[in-house]
A = this chain, B = another copy of it.
Amino acid sequence: MAGMEKFDQLKNHYKQLVPSMSEESWNITSSVLTVRTLKKGEYLVREGEVCNHVSFINHGLVRMFHAVEGKEKIIMFAHENEYTAEYQSFLTRRPANAYLLAMEDTELVETCYDDLQMLYQCVPEANLLGRMIAENLFLMMCDLSNHEAKSTIAGRYERLITEIPWLTQRVPQYMIASYLGITPEAFSRIKSKAAKKRSTIPVNY
């Protein structure tokens, strides 16, 4: 079947989570998958719409954000081999609270809501898989909340550049500022202070 290889990344991901998954279960699963491509700047989901798909990112980069008083507050970034969705809306079937936007040309492998419910009924491994995906999403939210609660902005910045170095390569700084919950100006100040602190280490004349 044409384009079958587009599901390979997702298949690998499934096999990692559930090594015991049968070929038959995979065949049923893959029969409801669809590929979608987005150009840089296109929306996956808009606030107010019901999010009807869970998407696995083959390649590309997506950001999720709230629009608050005309400005955007970025919640998260997602990239290759990760899932993305306004999963709250997807689960509750209620309008999304956030936007999802492709920041680069992006290829997705998607499952729609009804098909996923069908899989939960028909494929024995699906609930296990669904549990692991929900658990992972939950853990991600925890990490987010932990970092926001525990660190100063400066500390969170230090952590970000060491733990997610690719972010600073692929994302402009004003978006990182939004992700940290501050203005670009404040972010700029913090950066220069941090740099100054580093250079305060004693130097020989």
Residues in chain A within 8 A of chain B (CB atoms): 66, 68, 73, 75, 87-88, 91-92, 97, 120, 127-128, 130-131, 134-135, 137-139, 141-146, 149-150
Contact = CB atoms under 8 A, between A and B. Distances in A.
A100 B130 CA distance: 27
The complex is assembled from copies of this chain, and their number is: 2
Contact of A91 (B127, B135, B145): B135
Contact of A88 (B134, B137, B139, B149): B139
Given A66-B150, A128-B127, A131-B130, A75 B138 contact: no
Given A130-B131, A138-B134, A149 B73 contact: yes
A134 B141 CA distance: 12
Given A88-B142, A91-B135, A144-B145, 6 more contacts: A87-B138, A120-B128, A134-B134, A137-B138, A138-B138, A141-B145
Contacts of A88: 138-139, 142-143, 146
Nearest to A143: B88
B146 A97 contact: yes
Contacts of A97: 142, 146, 150
B128 A68 contact: no
Contact of A145 (B68, B128, B135, B145): B145
A73 B152 CA distance: 13
Ranked nearest first, the 5 interchain pairs of A and B with the lowest CB-CB distance are: A134-B134, A141-B141, A131-B131, A127-B127, A88-B142
Given A131-B127, A131-B134, A134-B134, A149 B91 contact: no
Nearest to A92: B139
B131 A75 contact: no
A92 B138 CA distance: 12
B91 A139 contact: yes
A60 to B, nearest CB: 23
A58 to B, nearest CB: 24
